Amino acid sequence: MSSRHNTPLTFREIFDLPVSVDLRTAARAFGMCMDTAYRLVARDEFPCPTVPVGCRHRVRTVELLAALGIEERPVFADEIADGVALTLFD
């Protein structure tokens, strides 16, 4: 396994997440290893709700952000330059 998956997510990576993420990505956001994540899910103690999908678990990004204490998505300078953020203020 590469070290990329063992490091916590950066702010930019967190704000670029899709609507839901796998348990590995959610665990990275909290800076925890997969063993800890699975143990917490089994105890129903993971920091945010998980959704079982077959034998895997997904986490809704909105709930992940709330558990991380992130209320609003910041606007990055490159998004303003690209015109992406302009629609937020129209």
Task: Give the pLDDT score at 18.
Answer: 87
CA angle 15–18–64, rounded 5-degree value? 65
Task: Give the pLDDT score at 5.
Answer: 59
This prediction's pTM: 0.70
pLDDT truncated to tens, each residue of the chain (90 aa)?
Answer: 444 457 888 877 887 888 899 999 999 999 999 999 999 999 999 999 999 999 899 999 999 999 999 877 665 555 555 555 544 444
- DSSP symbols for the chain: --GGGGSPPPHHHHHT--SEEEHHHHHHHHT--HHHHHHHHHTT-SSS--EEETTEEEEEHHHHHHHTT--SPPPPHHHHHHTSGGGG--
Task: Give the pLDDT score at 73.
Answer: 66
